[in-house]
Homo-oligomer: A and B are copies of this chain.
Amino acid sequence: MEKFQVFDGDITSPKGFKACGIHIGIKKKNKDIALIVSDVLAEGAAVFTTNKACAAPVKLSKENIQGGKAQAILVNSGNANACTGKEGYENAKKMVEAAAEGLNLSFESILVASTGVIGVPLPMDTILKGINKATKVLSYEGGLDAAEAILTTDTGVKKIAVSLEIDGEEVTIAGIAKGSGMIHPNMATMLAFVTTDAKIKGEFLQKLLKHAVDRTYNMITVDGDTSTNDSVNAMANGMAENAMLDENHPEIDKFKEAFHYVNEFLAKTIVADGEGATKFLEVEVQNSKSFADAKDIAMSILNSNLVKTAFFGEDGNWGRIVCSIGYSGVDIDMEKVTVYLGNENAMLKIVEEGQGTAYKEDEMENILKHKKLKILVDLHAGVEKAKGWGCDLSYEYVKINGAYRS
């Protein structure tokens, strides 16, 4: 029997969550304000960008999440309110004040996120009017509108919903995200918002979210740049009325698995939508001394421009993969390293004991024609592992990010 079911839902699928997504005029067209609200005060959890140039809304949300509770998440797209100094911080506060007033909630119970152009002051009149309007159009069917309203350069909505049984009660976990595509004149952001009606201990939810972020959103890369606004927020309102979830709950593993699935799905969807990407790459590093070692090697491979351009050229360049493993900073014995390259159908051993194998060129060419490729690295050094996801580096990437003037 399946542990959980994926279904065509969104962040308003869990019990007691309303949302909306509307166009208020920050962008010329398309929805640019999203509001996600729980009927009751929820357990809140959040993980933010480590970028020292973090944006004003990130600073404010870090303060508001301190209590471990949240009832609403306010998001605007079109302007990141980053590198905007003290005025930007005051503007983020005004946004939350407007939402608190319209929703009749406490200031501290509201998280805020922004994405879009950085270094440009927010159009506050437009935004405050828009927030007020948003508080009036919330609905239990508004999840999809919210999913649309947080997008910037994304080519499509990123959403997922799963349901499972805990203590005989139906529990739903859902999420939406926007991608880390880069846009002129400045970088966009990776945002993800997760809602669930599960009853779960607040500090345990934070632990689960941090663990999931480290293994999903922090394991994807389009160009290795960490934005000023990256945020992942979760709200759990307990309305499924299961027995309180924590380490000791008999069905906790089932919940963990479903919660992780939601975040991994959103993370992979972001990479698959990476700018100019023609290949989707999954790197799995096995039998490492630690998770950190496996993670560093996976990200070293995925961030290598030489590996990325090789895959764009449909060249199974094992030498560049070995090289990127070698300079990952991880202390390994290259003579023990095995590397496989393939897809869901076939895996080809391309490196053994640190050296290239005599694989058949035509087999390699058949594998490289696929859009989804997998690199499996076995370090033969321990029992830990990590998975990461990335994409190739194409002309289109350079064009989108560099040659928009021509």
Which A residues contact B (CB, under 8 angstroms)? 50-54, 82-85, 118-119, 182, 184-187, 223-228, 303-306, 308-315, 317-320, 322-328, 330-335, 351, 353-356, 392-395, 397-399, 401-406
Contact = CB atoms under 8 A, between A and B. Distances in A.
Contacts of A322: 53, 83, 118, 228
B354 A324 contact: no
A223 B327 contact: no
A405 B315 contact: yes
Contacts of A356: 83, 119
Given A52-B326, A320-B186, A322-B83, A306 B118 contact: no
B398 A394 contact: yes
B319 A403 contact: no
A317 B185 contact: yes
B309 A225 contact: no
Contact of A405 (B118, B119, B313, B402): B313
A319 B401 contact: no
Nearest to A402: B309
Contact of A119 (B319, B326, B327, B335): B319
Given A305-B223, A310-B402, A332 B83 contact: no
Contacts of A185: 315, 317, 319
Given A228-B326, A394-B398, A398-B395, A319 B187 contact: yes
A323 B228 contact: yes
Contacts of A308: 402
Nearest to A330: B52
Given A53-B326, A393-B402, A119 B355 contact: yes
A318 B312 CA distance: 29
A85 B354 contact: yes
Given A50-B327, A53-B322, A84-B355, 8 more contacts: A51-B326, A83-B354, A119-B355, A119-B356, A187-B320, A187-B323, A305-B397, A306-B401
